[in-house]
Structure 1
Amino acid sequence: MMETVAVPNATKRFRYGVITFMLFWCALIVVSGAYVTTPLFGVFEDTFQVSKTMSAWTSSSFSFFYAVGFLLFGPLADRIGRKQIILLGLFSLTLVTIWIGMVSSFGSLIALRGLQGFVAATFAPSALAYAFEIFPKQKLVTTIGFISFGYVTSGIFGQVIADLIYQWANWEMVFLFLGGMYCITFVAVIFLLPNTAREQGKKGVRFYLYHSKLILKQRNFLLTYSITIMLLLTFMGMYTLLGSYLSGEPYNLSGEAILGIRALGIIGMVISPLTGRIVQRIGLLLTLRIGLGMAVLGLFLLGIGSHIVFLVLMSIIYVMGISMIFPAIMMVIGELGGERRALANAFYAFILFIGAMLGPIIAIWLLSIGSYRSTFFILSLLLVIGFVLSMFIQVKSQVQGT
């Protein structure tokens, strides 16, 4: 077993920049697993002869069990250590992801995607608490911004990598490649992330039930979690629609062109690591509200525009807004959580990916009873509700950026 070192000694031995990069990379590569099947829905429909709704479960299965896993691995990280949980997850992800690349039935694919999501849940609940333990407050917001950058970029990165590898080889190779990346990351984490001190004492089920009740009774948490569920719901919903929207009349774009448009979304994501500086200048809650406003604007105009350049610009504005919201929400949770930060973050991650699970299902259902434009409008309306709710959140001590 690796020796546990105190946080001050750990931070002397490891440069903050290296730790920040590793947390960013882990967020990027782990959460990319949630999105790799989004551009492959049509492939699964043809390969396994299933409906569009059924093919969406290759995404929703991951998201559901990913969300459930947070409720287990968040408390478990308190007992055995953040880094140990992250390593357990990366090792398990390596095995499960390679296994997915070898299946031949749709039922096995759905089941293993659920297992993949469950073990992927080891990272996110541990990452925020880990950052709060390792970094001094003046560096914390920048680090959280980079972790969030990894989360939001994974939404594009996962789709683009999956599409590129599929066009080069086949869908099985997507998972074999991803499994290889998890293996490399596992080795890197062993050497590059310092250990932190474990929680003193053993916390049983009664402890977590008691503190869960305290969290879920607080109005600020309820408001923040209500906004959280809308983030990946609209994000997954939007990207589920965008490919088929642009491949049909009147655009008739090729797979390569749609891949390029997905990749352009990364332009909007570069704001995420800069969110710390924005918070420093204008405050945490105002940053959150501006992000929500931009996301509403981009998604609403995406539904009413027609020119392809305009649609691309609106998708970038939407992604830019979402990329501001993620780190802002994480900072709000961190400030509200206090000593219950790890548990509060586990609930945040659980709710976030319940939204991711619902996104493709709701988007496809709305499209079946309406049109692309009405579906984009309804998704933007959800974010309007989130903006209104944000006006009632109060954070006593706002984090300052660097």
Structure 2
Amino acid sequence: MNNAVKPIPPRYNLTTLILFWCSLIVVSSLYLTIPLFSVFEDVFQVSSSEAAWAGSAFSFAFAGGALLFGGLSDRYGRKKMMITGLGLLTVSTPFIGTVHEFQWLIVLRVIQGLAASMFPPSVLAYAMEMFPTNKRVTILGFISTAFLMASIVGQIYSSTIVMGLSWNDVFYILGIVYFVSLILITIGIPKDVIQKPKDDFFTPLKRIGGIFRKKSLPICYIISSTLFIALVGFFSTIGSYLSSPLFGLSHQEILWVRAAGIIGMFISPFDGGLVTRYGVKNVLWCGLIMAGIGLGLVGISENLALLIPTSIIFTAGIAMALPALLSLIGTLAGELRASALSFHMFMLFIGASLGPIISIYLIDTQGHGPTFEVLAGLLLLSTVVPLFIRLERKETISPINQ
């Protein structure tokens, strides 16, 4: 009789749920200040363009940190980096609620952005290494969906809290959420194997130069930046557009319109199947065109019956294009995949940094309608980029999505 103890099977469903949740709340920090711009204008007596730096400061720090901390996770382990990032967010986030001067809010948002940037490169690498091939599409789809849903969930969260409590409480409560999430990820997911590379700390940064020598790869980053310029620019514009005399919506009503965009994002987990069936470039094209048309129609919508479905079309297009772009970059990068994806994240959040700055400038100078049209034009112009991308073999899904 064999009395050997059978090994406990990995709890992939639980791990997926924890990684989805933590990805959602970490990236939500980027977007939670968008509904607070007008609050910051009143509280700190700053202009609308200055208030937008509450979001852009986080984004710039997040973008730079994504390049730096991807290499650290190779050296110290994916789980340790996720724990460190959540730990720093737990400590730094509540301090934002205590500030009385706008410059200190910006400083703390930079610190928060650096802490948050430890998480996405680590969680993506963890998912690719710890999940078997047949489960990898699912986990990457959930993580991609969490990153996209964060753009709406972060705004819904802060809008809800500020209506019932105060802007300070947005950060106090979020600090508690981060602490609970820190416990979840510490005890709830398996420990990964630390690679301990022989290269020095700066080697991953040095490899970035190599991606610009890869045929067709560098121009993909044009799409990386324009996707998030449009996404964050849209959310930075929609609140004041809906509260303008044309619509005159209350904060609660605007909250529901923002929430409707989540519907379009549920396409993201199915993107792997679409890429397999139709090809990565075709899915990317379709997503960009859908997002551009949807955003363009938002700009001419003068009633909610048209604005809500067109905003859903826009978010669905973004949700279709982003995972396809991830697959395309992974395919083109080959052995430089890790560096190429880190730089992709860097360009995404450079776009996220520029989105509020561009949109607020356009609102002040041109109005809401032209702002949406300019952002839509950027997306539609970026549909030209895939024409210049050549895949040497038949279009296949990148190994990261297999």
Shift of 1:209: 4.7
Corresponding residue to 1:347 among 318, 343, 349: 343
1:334 aligns with 2:330: yes
Partner of 2:388: 392
Q: Which runs of 5+ in 1 are unaligned?
A: 1-10
In structure 2, which of residues 111, 115, 134 is the aligned counterpart of residue 138 of structure 1?
A: 134
Q: Give me the whole-angstrom Cα distance separating, in 1, the residues matched to 2:8 and 2:378.
A: 45
Match of 2:90 among 89, 94, 112: 94
Q: In terms of mean alpha carbon deviation, does 18-27 or 164-173 score higher?
A: 18-27
Task: Tell me what 1:3 maps to.
Answer: none
Q: How far apart are residue 221 of structure 1 and its match? A: 2.2
In the TM superposition, 1:3-402 aligns within 5 A as 13-204=9-200, 207-395=203-391, 396=393, 398-399=396-397
Aligned mates of 1:87, 1:193 — CA distance in 2: 11
Contact 1:144 1:330 in 2 (8 A): no
Return the alpha-carbon distance in structure 2 between the equivalents of residues 12 and 369 of structure 1: 62
Partner of 1:194: helix, strand, or coil? coil
Deviation of 1:12 after TM superposition, in Å, equals 6.4
- 8 Å Cα contact 1:289-1:390 kept in structure 2: yes
Q: CA, structure 1 residues 190+13, in 2 after alignment: closer, same or farther (shift >3 Å)?
A: farther
Say if 1:161 and 1:15 are closer, same or farther in 2 by CA, change over 3 A.
same
Q: Structure 1: how far apart are the matches of 2:18 and 2:388?
A: 35
- Counterpart residue identity of residue 199, structure 1: Q
RMSD between aligned residues: 1.8
Q: Secondary structure at the match of 2:92?
A: helix
TM-score normalised by L of structure 1: 0.93
CA distance in 1, matches of 2:379, 2:242: 23
Asked if structure 2 preserves the Cα contact closer than 8 Å seen for 1:79 and 1:203, the reply is: no
Q: Which moved more, 1:198-207 or 1:91-100?
A: 198-207
Amino acid at match of 2:376: S
TM-score, normalising length: structure 2: 0.93
Assess, with a 3 A threshold, how the Cα gap between structure 1 residues 51 and 385 changes in structure 2: closer, same or farther: same
- Cα displacement string for residues 289-309 of structure 1 (whole angstroms, at most 9, x for unaligned residues): 111111011011111222221
Residues 125 and 59 from structure 1, CA distance in 2 versus in 1: closer, same or farther, beyond 3 angstroms?
Answer: same
Give the Cα separation in 1 of the matches to 2:29 and 2:16.
21
Whether contact under 8 Å (2:299, 2:373) holds in the other structure is yes
How big is the shift at 1:200? 4.2
The SS at the match of 1:201 is: coil
1:249 Cα deviation from its structure 2 partner: 1.8
For 2:255 and 2:203, how far apart are their aligned partners in 1?
A: 47
Partner amino acid for 1:92? L
Query: Take 2:293 and 2:8, find their aligned partners in 1: how far apart are those partners?
Result: 45
Q: Which amino acid aligns with 2:344?
A: Y
The whole-number CA distance in structure 2 between the counterparts of 1:15 and 1:209 is 34
Question: Alpha-carbon deviations, 1:309-367, whole Å to 9, x = none?
Answer: 10111111000111112222222233334443332222111111010010000011122
Deviation at 1:375, TM superposition (A): 1.3
- Could you tell me how far apart the structure 2 residues matched to 1:32 and 1:394 are? 35
User: What code does the residue aligned with 1:399 have?
Assistant: I
- Percent identity between the aligned chains? 42
Output one character per residue of 1:21-58: Cα deviation in whole Å (capped at 9) or x when no partner. 22211210000000110001111111111100111010
Deviations 1:57-98 (A, max 9, x none): 100010010111112101111111111111100000000001
Q: CA deviation at 1:17?
A: 1.9
Q: In the alignment, what sits opposite 2:4?
A: none
Conserved in 2, the CA contact under 8 Å of 1:268 and 1:319? Answer: yes
**Residues 270 and 40 of structure 1: CA distance in aligned 2, closer, same or farther (over 3 Å):** same
CA 1:44–1:315 in structure 2 vs 1: closer, same or farther (change >3 Å)?
same
Pairwise CA distance, 1:205: 5.1
Which residue identity lines up with residue 301 of structure 1 in the other structure? L
1:87-129 per-position Cα deviation (integer Å, ceiling 9, x unaligned):
1000000000011122222111111011100110001112222
